[in-house]
Amino acid sequence: MELTEVVALRAYAKMMNTISVEPLESILADNFANESQTVFQALESKQAFLEYIIPKLETIRRSNAIVFAEMGTVAAYGKSQPCVILAQNDEANLVALVLAKTHGDKLSRLDLCIVPPPQAAERSGEYPI
């Protein structure tokens, strides 16, 4: 069954909102890529991403930081597309957007973006859990 960007992004948002990798792990392609405009080096495999994100989620949990991951839509890179809008400690403190690419039934890529800014996205009020 074809995995849509919306379904993949909802799984990512659920991971961030529940601080658990479980919703996302099973849909990651083996050659999954994760890039961030705020980090120099890309993560270029499912294993590399999991080795990065699991400790990051643990740090968030231990620090009692609050992450808000909201479904949205943004006009970026020549088209309107689904995204996750990330906020930290307060729903109004927007910090980044996440865009997705899928291939078949797997999530092949996530991009964490600060350009376009998260304020440019249309917010839905949906915080998957």
Tens digit of each residue's pLDDT (9 = 90 or more) over 81-128: 999 999 999 999 999 999 999 999 999 999 999 999 999 999 999 999
* Distance from C-alpha of 76 to C-alpha of 82, rounded to nearest angstrom: 10
pLDDT of residue 77: 85
Confidence category of residue 1, pLDDT binned at 50, 70, 90: confident
Q: Cα–Cα distances in Å, from 24 out to 5, 17, 119? A: 13, 12, 25
Question: Would you say residue 40 has pLDDT above 90?
Answer: no
Nearest one of 72, 112, 71 to 95, comparing CA atoms: 112
pLDDT of residue 91: 97
* Distance from C-alpha of 67 to C-alpha of 34, rounded to nearest angstrom: 19
